[in-house]
Amino acid sequence: MVNVQLLTQAVGELDEDRVMALLTEFVAAMPTAEEALSALNACQQGMNAVGELYETGEYFVGDLIFAGELLTKAVDLIKPVLRGEGAATIGKIVLGTVRGDIHDIGKNIFKSLVESAGFEVYDLGVDTSPEAFVAKAREVGADVVGMSGVLNLATAAMKNTVDALKAAGLRNGVKVLIGGNPVNSEVCRNVGADAFTTNAAQGVKICQGWVK
């Protein structure tokens, strides 16, 4: 059984060597699926700590990028022993960088954090058309549509996507979150989104609030 407290702490401190050592030893001991789930939860708790440290300014964007990579490596180690057991899903998010924009780092940071918070994420990648957002949201019954963008032109694409969700009759059934450099309260209002954020950790909290 992994020491969940130590694992949570190591993830929170972004101590890659310690995280990988703890998990390698854990996996070698042939844990049960239930124990693997508890290790996964410990990693998720550690990512919450990363989000909190980002909010205080102790960590910044580079740390979040690193945290995303660390979490991916940790999950890859744990996955084989989960044997199909997965953490409970608290909601479904369709996520993408909007049409005309190919910046995906902010989107990927948000994805790592929101997945670790228990959301099932359908990542549509970059340069995503409004039609693709609509089709995936309909297909999976999304709770949230998350749109990301760095370029100022992204805000127009976000608005087009919200309009497409409305035209498809889906808008009332989903919450829309926009994120990235160019968003602010005025952009949020113009786009017709429910919330905006320039902070991935805060974005996770917004989504958690919506599915409570």
Phi–psi pair at 7, nearest 5 degrees:
-65, -45
DSSP classification of residue 79: H
Binding segment (CB under 8 A) for other proteins, from list 38-46, 65-73, 139-147, 167-175 = 65-73
Give the contacts of 57 (CB within 8 A, at least 6 positions apart).
none
Distance CA 9, CA 53 (A): 12
Q: How many residues bind other proteins (CB under 8 A)?
A: 28
Binding status of residue 192 toward other proteins by CB under 8 A: no
Binding segment (CB under 8 A) for other proteins, from list 18-26, 54-62, 79-87, 169-177 = 54-62
Distance CA 76, CA 70 (A): 10
Binding segment (CB under 8 A) for other proteins, from list 1-9, 36-44, 75-83, 186-194 = 186-194
* Minimum CB distance to other proteins smaller for 4 or for 65: 65
Binding status of residue 24 toward other proteins by CB under 8 A: no
Distance CA 59, CA 67 (A): 10
Binding status of residue 102 toward other proteins by CB under 8 A: yes
Distance CA 96, CA 159 (A): 14
Phi–psi pair at 94, nearest 5 degrees:
-95, 125
- Closest distance to other proteins from the beta carbon of 193 (Å): 15
Binding status of residue 98 toward other proteins by CB under 8 A: no
List 3, 181, 199, 208, residue binding other proteins (CB under 8 A): 181
CB 89 within 8 A of CB 118: yes
* Minimum CB distance to other proteins smaller for 192 or for 208: 192
Binding status of residue 14 toward other proteins by CB under 8 A: yes
Where would I find the H helices in 3-140? 4-12, 16-28, 33-56, 61-82, 105-116, 130-140
List 63, 120, 163, 194, residue binding other proteins (CB under 8 A): 63
- Closest distance to other proteins from the beta carbon of 104 (Å): 8
Binding status of residue 58 toward other proteins by CB under 8 A: yes
Distance CA 52, CA 43 (A): 14
**Where do contacts with other proteins occur on this chain (CB under 8 A)?**
14, 16, 57-63, 65-66, 69, 100-103, 105, 151-153, 155-156, 181-182, 184, 186-187, 190
